[in-house]
């Protein structure tokens, strides 16, 4: 666990680059970039299932309105029910922009080199240096004692043989980080020295039963409904549905409770609780753009407006921390969009390579 923490809190910050005006160097074929920039076709923005719910419709529409004003082109939102669909859309030039996790960006970039990061939401400092969220291992409160090793300390040693819920194999915090954490811990033992990511994704190998929630919300519901003993999901994707009931946010031992009036899929689960076994920092999710369909000029226009003070101060996008309604991003201090380069995502690539 400490090894993974060091990867993020060391490598991520060393590799993070200061925000800079979008000077893309992506090469496209025979002037296609110029043609794409002069197009008046609608811009297609594809969203992961986590952000496709009705409760985030206003935030999506506000981002769409900003893109329309910046480019003079209509925006069409593509809502999805599967991570793979969203990634396929932008890889195959059927979408111009997408909001993905770091892992989704890396998978898309490997298949289409014209895909580049536009911007990521910063941390409270207003920079990329604390642009982090958290990947959780969670369990029902009644089961927390099983994983407790001391006062306020928890272990994943009891994971073998349990029923486990991931999000999607394309999810950073709902699969890539959790599997890396488990492999780092268990491949150091003789019994599990040959354990692989594929073993963790299939029932009957390491886990008794493995399930995928398809969204972070779905993985959390698998846990709350006791289909899973333990589940992986992230803090930001469920923050509009749950509230801290006990302990400190994003720390082992914290207990969260489903809020009254929470939207689907939590609408019938108010008051249900779960506890955190571990919370691992993860690089924030990027907006990414397809330079071959956007053109470099339009890509740069979008990047500039996303990183602007106007967007940073837009309360429909960066919702004040004390607001009653949730949104895509929370404004607790100086949060805004910042521009990062491809290398910023190398800590996630290192997880992919097993380093």
Give the Cα separation of 112 and 102 in Å (integer).
Answer: 15
Q: What is the pLDDT of residue 74?
A: 97
* Angle between helical axes of 57-71 and 296-306 (0-180°, round to 10): 130
Are 66 and 184 contained in the same domain? no
How many alpha carbons lie under 13 Å from residue 35 in its C-beta half-sphere? Answer: 7
Per-residue CA distances from 353 to 145, 281, 348, 349 (Å): 34, 19, 9, 6
Are 143 and 125 contained in the same domain? no
Are 198 and 338 contained in the same domain? no
Query: Strand 43-47 to strand 75-79: parallel, antiparallel, or no bridges (unpaired)?
Result: parallel
pLDDT at 353 over 90: no
Distance separating the N- and C-terminal Cα atoms of the chain: 13
Give the Cα separation of 241 and 326 in Å (integer).
Answer: 9
* Number of domains into which the chain is organized: 2
Q: What is the pLDDT of residue 11?
A: 40
Average pLDDT over residues 282-304: 97
Confidence class for position 152, pLDDT limits 50, 70, 90 = confident
Domain stop point among 230, 257, 283: 283
To the nearest whole percent, how much of the chain has pLDDT over 70?
Answer: 88
pLDDT at 332 over 60: yes
Are 155 and 259 contained in the same domain? yes
pLDDT at 169 over 70: yes
Are 299 and 269 contained in the same domain? no
Are 55 and 170 contained in the same domain? no
* pLDDT tens figures, 17-72: 333 333 334 444 445 555 565 568 899 999 999 999 998 999 999 999 999 999 99
Average pLDDT over residues 102-107: 95
Domain stop point among 283, 306, 327: 283
pLDDT at 3 over 60: no
Average pLDDT over residues 101-119: 96
Are 146 and 273 contained in the same domain? yes
Q: What are all long-range contacts of 305-314, with beta carbons under 8 Å and residues at least 24 apart?
A: 305/66, 305/67, 305/69, 305/70, 306/66, 306/118, 306/119, 306/337, 307/19, 307/119, 307/336, 307/337, 307/338, 307/339, 309/336, 311/66, 311/336, 311/337, 312/126, 312/336, 312/337, 314/62, 314/66
To the nearest whole percent, how much of the chain has pLDDT over 90?
Answer: 83
Residue 243 belongs to domain spanning = 132-283
Are 253 and 157 contained in the same domain? yes
Q: 213: which 2 tokens?
A: 């929630």
Give the Cα separation of 114 and 321 in Å (integer).
Answer: 36
Q: Whole-structure pTM over 0.85, yes or no?
A: no
* pLDDT tens figures, 181-205: 999 999 999 999 999 999 999 999 9
Q: What is the pLDDT of residue 15?
A: 37
Are 235 and 269 contained in the same domain? yes
Per-residue CA distances from 261 to 54, 213, 268 (Å): 14, 22, 9
Are 198 and 230 contained in the same domain? yes
For the chain, what is the radius of gyration of the CA atoms? 20
Are 149 and 222 contained in the same domain? yes
Give the Cα separation of 177 and 180 in Å (integer).
Answer: 5
Confidence class for position 151, pLDDT limits 50, 70, 90 = confident
* pLDDT tens figures, 205-247: 999 999 999 999 999 999 999 999 999 999 999 999 999 999 9
- Write down the H helix ranges in 92-196: 102-111, 144-147, 177-186
Phi, psi of 8 (to 5 degrees): -80, -45
Strands (E), the chain: 43-47, 75-79, 97-99, 115-121, 132-139, 148-150, 153-154, 163-166, 209-212, 230-234, 242-246, 255-258, 273-283, 287-290, 318-320, 329-331, 337-338
Average pLDDT over residues 105-127: 97
Domain stop point among 283, 301, 333: 283
Per-residue CA distances from 145 to 150, 228, 255, 352 (Å): 10, 16, 13, 32
Are 157 and 201 contained in the same domain? yes
Q: 183: which 2 tokens?
A: 């492999």
pLDDT at 278 over 70: yes
Q: Are 180 and 4 in contact (CB under 8 A)?
A: yes
Give the Cα separation of 274 and 130 in Å (integer).
Answer: 26
User: Which CATH number do you get for residue 179?
Assistant: 3.40.190.10
């Amino acid at each position: 666990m400490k090894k993974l923490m060091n990867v993020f809190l060391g490598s991520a910050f060393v590799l993070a680059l200061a925000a800079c005006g979008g000077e893309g160097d992506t090469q496209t074929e025979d002037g296609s970039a110029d043609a794409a920039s002069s197009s008046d076709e609608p811009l297609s923005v594809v969203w992961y299932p986590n952000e496709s719910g009705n409760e985030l419709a206003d935030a999506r529409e506000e981002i769409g309105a900003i893109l329309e004003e910046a480019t003079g082109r209509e925006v069409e939102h593509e809502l999805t029910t599967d991570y793979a669909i969203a990634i396929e859309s932008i890889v195959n030039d059927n979408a111009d922009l997408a909001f993905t996790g770091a892992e989704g960006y890396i998978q898309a970039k490997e298949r289409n080199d014209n895909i580049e990061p536009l911007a990521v939401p910063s941390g409270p400092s207003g920079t990329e240096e604390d642009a982090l969220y958290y990947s959780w291992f969670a369990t029902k409160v009644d089961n927390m004692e099983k994983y407790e090793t001391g006062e306020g300390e928890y272990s994943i040693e009891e994971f073998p043989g349990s029923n486990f819920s991931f999000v999607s194999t394309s999810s950073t915090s709902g699969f890539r980080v959790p599997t890396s954490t488990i492999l780092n811990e268990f491949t150091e033992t003789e019994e599990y020295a040959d354990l692989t990511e594929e073993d963790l994704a299939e029932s009957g190998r390491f886990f008794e039963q493995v399930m995928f929630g398809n969204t972070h919300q779905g993985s959390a519901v698998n846990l709350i409904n006791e289909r899973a003993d333990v589940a992986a999901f992230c803090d930001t994707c469920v923050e509009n549905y749950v509230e801290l009931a006990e302990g400190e946010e994003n720390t082992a031992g914290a207990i969260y409770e489903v809020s009254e009036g929470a939207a689907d899929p939590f609408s019938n689960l108010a008051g249900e609780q779960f506890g955190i076994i571990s919370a691992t920092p993860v690089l924030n999710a990027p907006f990414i753009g397809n330079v071959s369909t956007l053109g470099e000029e339009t890509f740069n226009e979008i990047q500039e407006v996303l990183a602007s003070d106007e967007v940073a101060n837009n309360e429909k996008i960066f919702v004040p921390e004390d607001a009653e309604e949730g949104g895509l991003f929370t404004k607790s201090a100086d949060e805004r969009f910042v521009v990062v380069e491809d290398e910023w995502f190398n800590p996630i690539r290192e997880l992919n390579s097993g380093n």
